[in-house]
Chain A
Amino acid sequence: MNPTWLIALPLGFAFLGIFAGKFSKAFLWIASLANAIISLFIFNGNGVTSYIIGGWIPPYGINLVVNDMTRVFLLAVNLIFLLALVATSAEILKKDEKMSVAFMLSLAAINGILLTGDLFNLFVFLEISAISAYIMAASGKEAISKFAALKYLILGSIASSFYLLGVIVVYASTGTLNMADAAAKVTSLNPNVLLAAGLLMVVGLGVETKLFPFNGWAPDVYANASGRGSTILASVFPIAMISAFIRVITFVINSGKLNELIIVLGITTAIIGEVLAFSQKRMKKMLAYSSIAQAGVILMLIGIGSSKAYIGASMLLLNNGFGKLLLFSVASQIALVAGSDHFENVTGVGRKSPLFTLLFGAGALTIVGMPLFFGFRSKLYVISATMDKSLWIPAVILITAAIEVTYYFRWIFNLVKADAKLSEKRSPVPFGLALAGLLAVLVVIAFGIVPEANLDFFNRIGDLSIQLSKTLMGGM
């Protein structure tokens, strides 16, 4: 199956959706359902395949690359996107016909980011995904969501220009934009030039991947966007952005000094994220800081760059995707039921509707890394992957996990605490949220308990990452 369909379908539907009125919501469903099915077909395969666009061979034309890492990410992204739509289907957005267009375009852009084998094409898709993210960020009910979106808009636009500047430096010195070709040519480059280009790109991609100190936009945006917007931003976007980060920073640039910088920044991000999450009074803000911390750990693993670290990073990414899908969709619904998501307001909501507690609890437990959940397996793997680098990296991971456990359990206990203030009326859980939530819970538990042999697609990520780094990635 040609992966171009993953980009072309949502794109085509989005263009139709702008004047189709009510149908645009249906288009969104059709596009995401079709994408989920197509990505299932693409997942059934292995090895590296390059699909050329426009009939021009790389490095002259643009190509899409499907490898084992992309396959896993594509399936995860399209499934989580569909589940996020189902989970938040009860929410009524302002101007939701036009919002559907933005969601469709974000789906197309995310698939493009995962697939493309060209540095400039990646920039174009980053732009599309970023602009749709600004629109999603501004989709909240309160005016503060617009303010958060404006902050994100300024930071994000500067970040894209930094990335573009990095691409320009690479193009000026190597004369090519194809990732694999550039990766082969930068090895003979002056290390200073390479470092400068890499640094510019780290700044550019760091904003989107929430690397400290470029992540100031994230808490406000995640906390104030609409339910659907924040769920997609927190669960789907990190997978695509970190995939872009892996491709550009570690596969193309691959400069030793830069990787060390990323390890340090990643650890800092993780610690700061967890500590700030601990002190939050709002549920969605707490989740946002927790997302930042998760991104920090994943980026740190990417900085280490061993094959085991890549496997660990992709496990954590998927775990974070499914976990945050549960947490954000439930948190948005709870905020709707309780009037706000402040700590005092949500006390006892889970007692009235146990399903909330179940879904939120499952999401929290898999993020924290409790046994039986996917999080446990991935964190165990991460610790074993970082052990041979140095001992204090797993120690940091364990400490952050300990902080994580504390505050997540505080929120879970708060949800089930008996509280007289709440009215007797039960607050029903919308059908879509229950369905998608239970499916996501099934996924994280299944990934947590199935035997290792059934998860060999993760091992293939690790096997390939080394050879991919230079020769095969661009399919040349």
Chain B
Amino acid sequence: MKKAIAALIAFLFFLMFVNILNSDSEEFKGIPKFGEVNLTERVSNKYISKSVSGDSGEIVYGKTENAESGSANMVTSIVVNYRSFDTLGEVTVLFLAATGVAILIGGGQRKSLAISVNPIVKISARIIATLLLAFGAYVFIHGHLTPGGGFPGGTIIAAGTLLMLVADDKKRTSKLLKILEGTMGFLYVVIGIAGLLVTGSFLKNFLPTGTMGNLFSAGLIPIIYSVIGLKVGAELSALLDDFFAEEGRK
């Protein structure tokens, strides 16, 4: 009975979405059909042409100087510049979730593995983890130029930690990670407050944006993305450690 009702509700939901997806007509506006979007009416248009605070002309990679948002990666310029406040919020969501895990299941001792791990595995895990650390750092430092950024970079670093934790049952993450995590989060807020004090608007970029496509460009974006990358990496590593301690002795 329950399943039948659930199926009915799901079907009604499906009908509702089919209905609203076909709603665009001459008479009323609805969700636009594929390829028929009027871009001039949408906010995203100005993010792409980087012309929110004024027309900045044609954007050319490697040539344009001092664009309003100096990031060559369009997504990054939205995530860390136009809507940076949301990203601060998302960073906080992850931070809070990690804190919740630490409150509920953290603080125990590690559960030891049932099988002993071969030293070759341990050593090669260390080598790969080091490579992952370097790769993660590369991803978040180049977040304003290439796909990637703070969140993926941090996650790659945490993947290295996971490898180390799986390969070695004596391994614990350092207590310093919590300090790194907190400091980086605090730095993000401080950057925001600095913007508020310098320019009068929270999280506003107050550094020159440079030539688009250079490593040292885009003002605050690489700094914020490095902060996020380190924070997410530290956070997820500590989180994984908490999970490994879940079934251990308290």
Complex partner residue of B92 from A11, A169, A189, CB under 8 angstroms: A11
**With an 8 A cutoff between CB atoms, is B44 at the interface?**
yes
**With an 8 A cutoff between CB atoms, is A60 at the interface?**
yes
Min distance, Cβ A158 to any Cβ of chain B, angstroms: 13
- Of the listed stretches B59-67, B131-139, B191-199, name the one at the interface; the rest are far from the partner chain: B191-199
Min distance, Cβ B51 to any Cβ of chain A, angstroms: 10
Nearest B residue to A96 via CB reads B103
**A128/B190 in contact, CB under 8 A:** no
**With an 8 A cutoff between CB atoms, is B89 at the interface?**
yes
Q: Which of A147-199 contact B (CB under 8 A)?
A: 169, 172-173, 175-178, 188-193, 196
Complex partner residue of B104 from A120, A131, A138, CB under 8 angstroms: A138
Residues of A within 8 A of B81 (CB): 54
**With an 8 A cutoff between CB atoms, is B93 at the interface?**
yes
**Complex Cα gap A101–B102 (Å):** 12
Interface string of B182-207 (1 = CB under 8 A from A): 11111011101101100101111100
**Complex Cα gap A52–B53 (Å):** 13
**With an 8 A cutoff between CB atoms, is A419 at the interface?**
no
**A169/B20 in contact, CB under 8 A:** yes
Residues of A within 8 A of B20 (CB): 169, 190, 192-193, 196
Nearest B residue to A95 via CB reads B103
- Assuming the contacts A56-B53, A57-B52, A177-B43, asked whether A134 and B82 have C-beta atoms less than 8 A apart, the reply is no
Interface centre among B82, B89, B185, B193 (most CB of A within 10 A): B89
Q: Which of A98-125 contact B (CB under 8 A)?
A: 98-99, 101-102, 105, 108-109, 112, 120-121, 124-125
- Of the listed stretches B25-33, B165-173, B209-217, name the one at the interface; the rest are far from the partner chain: B25-33
**Complex Cα gap A108–B16 (Å):** 36
Nearest A residue to B80 via CB reads A54
**With an 8 A cutoff between CB atoms, is A324 at the interface?**
no
- Assuming the contacts A60-B46, A62-B85, A175-B43, asked whether A135 and B96 have C-beta atoms less than 8 A apart, the reply is yes
**B99/A61 in contact, CB under 8 A:** no
Residues of A within 8 A of B195 (CB): 54-55
**Complex Cα gap A65–B44 (Å):** 22
Q: How many residues of A contact B (CB 8 A)?
A: 59
**Complex Cα gap A121–B30 (Å):** 23
**With an 8 A cutoff between CB atoms, is A146 at the interface?**
yes
**With an 8 A cutoff between CB atoms, is A15 at the interface?**
yes
Residues of A within 8 A of B117 (CB): none
**B23/A190 in contact, CB under 8 A:** yes
Residues of B within 8 A of A57 (CB): 52-53
Residues of B within 8 A of A19 (CB): 178-179, 181-183
Complex partner residue of B189 from A15, A169, A176, A188, CB under 8 angstroms: A15
Residues of B within 8 A of A61 (CB): 52, 82-83
**A193/B30 in contact, CB under 8 A:** yes
Complex partner residue of B30 from A4, A108, A189, CB under 8 angstroms: A189
Nearest A residue to B175 via CB reads A19
Residues of A within 8 A of B25 (CB): 190
Complex partner residue of A2 from B30, B37, B196, CB under 8 angstroms: B196
Residues of B within 8 A of A95 (CB): 103, 107
Nearest A residue to B193 via CB reads A8
Q: How many residues of B contact A (CB 8 A)?
A: 62
Nearest A residue to B44 via CB reads A175
**Complex Cα gap A228–B97 (Å):** 20
Complex partner residue of A15 from B93, B100, B182, CB under 8 angstroms: B182
Nearest B residue to A132 via CB reads B96
Residues of A within 8 A of B36 (CB): none
**A121/B86 in contact, CB under 8 A:** yes
Nearest A residue to B220 via CB reads A54
Nearest B residue to A2 via CB reads B196
Complex partner residue of B99 from A2, A18, A191, CB under 8 angstroms: A18
**B89/A131 in contact, CB under 8 A:** no
**A12/B190 in contact, CB under 8 A:** yes
**With an 8 A cutoff between CB atoms, is B42 at the interface?**
yes
**Complex Cα gap A135–B179 (Å):** 21
**With an 8 A cutoff between CB atoms, is A375 at the interface?**
no
**With an 8 A cutoff between CB atoms, is A53 at the interface?**
yes
**B96/A52 in contact, CB under 8 A:** no
- Assuming the contacts A54-B201, A54-B203, asked whether A124 and B90 have C-beta atoms less than 8 A apart, the reply is yes
Min distance, Cβ B180 to any Cβ of chain A, angstroms: 9
**With an 8 A cutoff between CB atoms, is A206 at the interface?**
no
**With an 8 A cutoff between CB atoms, is B41 at the interface?**
yes
**A62/B103 in contact, CB under 8 A:** no
**Complex Cα gap A108–B241 (Å):** 28
Min distance, Cβ B225 to any Cβ of chain A, angstroms: 15
Min distance, Cβ A150 to any Cβ of chain B, angstroms: 10
**With an 8 A cutoff between CB atoms, is A127 at the interface?**
yes
**B96/A169 in contact, CB under 8 A:** no
**B179/A102 in contact, CB under 8 A:** no
**With an 8 A cutoff between CB atoms, is A204 at the interface?**
no
Complex partner residue of B32 from A53, A102, A134, A173, CB under 8 angstroms: A173
Residues of A within 8 A of B86 (CB): 62, 120-121, 124
**Complex Cα gap A8–B199 (Å):** 16
Complex partner residue of A134 from B84, B100, B183, CB under 8 angstroms: B100
Interface centre among A12, A132, A191 (most CB of B within 10 A): A12
Nearest A residue to B178 via CB reads A19
**B181/A193 in contact, CB under 8 A:** no
**Complex Cα gap A146–B19 (Å):** 41
Residues of B within 8 A of A169 (CB): 20, 31
Residues of A within 8 A of B29 (CB): 173, 188-190
Interface centre among B24, B46, B86, B204 (most CB of A within 10 A): B86
Complex partner residue of A127 from B23, B85, B89, B103, CB under 8 angstroms: B89
Nearest B residue to A177 via CB reads B43
**Complex Cα gap A192–B16 (Å):** 9
**With an 8 A cutoff between CB atoms, is B95 at the interface?**
yes
What are 6 A-B residue pairs whose CB atoms fall within 8 Å in the complex?
A2-B202, A53-B203, A102-B99, A121-B85, A173-B29, A178-B43
Q: A19-B182, A128-B92, A138-B103 are in contact. List 19 more A-B contacts (CB 8 A).
A: A4-B196, A11-B92, A15-B182, A19-B178, A19-B179, A20-B182, A54-B203, A54-B204, A55-B205, A102-B96, A102-B100, A109-B92, A124-B93, A132-B96, A135-B100, A178-B43, A189-B29, A189-B30, A190-B28
A binding-site residues for B, Cβ under 8 Å: 2, 4, 8, 11-12, 14-20, 51-57, 59-62, 95, 98-99, 101-102, 105, 108-109, 112, 120-121, 124-125, 127-128, 131-132, 134-135, 138-139, 146, 169, 172-173, 175-178, 188-193, 196
The 10 closest A-B pairs by CB, nearest first: A175-B42, A15-B185, A124-B89, A55-B204, A190-B28, A12-B189, A15-B186, A18-B182, A190-B30, A4-B202
